[in-house]
Structure 1
Amino acid sequence: MLFHTLSFLLLVAGAAVMCVSVTTPLHSFRGCAVREFSFVASKPGCKGLHVTTEACWGRCHTWEKPVPEPPYVHRHHRVCTYSRTRQATARLPGCQPNVSPLYHYPVALHCHCTTCSTQDTECETY
C-alpha cells in the first residue's frame, strides 16, 4: 500500500518548534502536497534523461450544481498546483551539435489547491 507522509511544523508560544509526521494511505489522502515525481526529460535533437524531482500531488475539493439559467451549471473546480517553485536544470545526453543540452523544469517547494491556470498547468478538462 502506498503512503504519503505529511510533516507539520508548529510554532508554540512564539519560540518552541515541534515537528509532527502523519502517514496517510494515498487512496484516502485529501489535500495538496509536495511529492517525489520522476519523468523522462527530452527534447528534439537530444536523448532522454530520467529526472527525479518534487511536484504537486493531491485531491482538492470540487463541485458542480445545476442552475436554471445559462450556462446551466455553476462549477467550482480547484486543482493541486504550485504556489512556490524553484527552477532546476538538467543536462541532456547525446545532443546534436546545434541543440542546447540544457532542460529547465520547476521543482515544487509548496503546493496548494486553487483555480486551474494555464500558465503552469494543463487545464483541458476544466
Structure 2
Amino acid sequence: MMALHGLPLFLLIIWLMQAISAQMLQDLQPLSSGPTIAPLGCHRRLYTYRVTQSDFQGRECWDNVSVWSCWGRCDSSEISDWKFPYKRSFHPVCVHAQRQPSVAILKNCHPDATDSIRKYKYMEAVNCHCHTCSTEDTSCEAPTNNVLDEEKNVKILTLTGVNSETVDY
C-alpha cells in the first residue's frame, strides 16, 4: 500500500524530466569544433578549414574559414546489396536542401597579393535534409584511397596519415 502512494510523485518527476529534456533539445546550436551535442538526425554544423590560395607569382593568402555544412545520420529501411562492389544503394544521406554562395576575405596575405586571391568563394548549406545522394551537386563516391587490387579482386584501404585520426576511410 505504501508503494502506491509514492507512484504519482514518481510519475510526476519522470514527466518533468522529459519536459525539461525536450526544451533543452530545442535550444541546441551547432558547434564549431569537436563532437556535436545535437540530437540524432540531419543538421547544419559549422566546420572550420584552413584555406590557402596563391597566384601565378607564388604570392599566397591564407586563413581559417568556418563553413556551414550538413552533418548527421538518416534512417532507412533499405536492405543493401552486400556483394562487391557495394554500389547498389539508395539510402538517404544528410545533404544540403538549399545552398548559398559565400565569400571569405583571407587575412594572412603577401603584401602584393591581389583581390583575386584575398577573396575565397565557396558554397555553404542554408538548411539540410535526408535525401538520396545526387552526383549533380554532391560527391557521392567512396574515398580516393579506397582502391581495388584487380589481380586479387580485393579492396585496399591506404593509410594516408601519421596516425589513425587522419585516416581517410
TM-score tier after normalising by the smaller chain length: 0.5 to 0.7
State the superposition RMSD in angstroms: 3.4
Residue 102 of structure 1 corresponds to 119
Among 67, 72, 83, the alignment partner of 1:53 is 67
Instruction: Tell me the TM-score normalized by structure 1.
Output: 0.60
Among 68, 73, 79, the alignment partner of 2:93 is 79
More helix by share: 2
CA contact 1:81–1:112 (8 Å) conserved in 2 = yes
Sort the Cα spacing of 1:43 and 1:77 in 2 relative to 1 into closer, same or farther, 3 A: farther
Higher RCO by CA contacts (8 Å cutoff, separation 6 or greater)? 1
Q: Secondary structure at the match of 2:48?
A: strand
CA distance in structure 1 between the partners assigned to 2:140 and 2:121 by the alignment: 21
Tell me the CA shift for residue 73 of structure 1. 8.1
CA contact 2:61–2:113 (8 Å) conserved in 1 = no
Residue 53 of structure 2 corresponds to 43
Q: Secondary structure at the match of 2:99?
A: strand
Residue 33 of structure 1 corresponds to 43
More strand by share: 1
CA deviation vs aligned residue, 1:50-87 (integer Å, no higher than 9, x gap): 011321111122443449xxx99852222211112222
Q: Which has the larger radius of gyration?
A: 2
CA distance in structure 2 between the partners assigned to 1:72 and 1:80 by the alignment: 19
Instruction: Tell me the TM-score normalized by structure 2.
Output: 0.47
Show structure 1 runs of 5+ residues with no match: 1-19
* Aligned residue pair count: 103
Residue 154 of structure 2 corresponds to none
Tell me the CA shift for residue 30 of structure 1. 3.0
Residue 112 of structure 1 corresponds to 129
Show structure 2 runs of 5+ residues with no match: 1-22, 29-34, 144-169
CA distance in structure 1 between the partners assigned to 2:37 and 2:113 by the alignment: 46
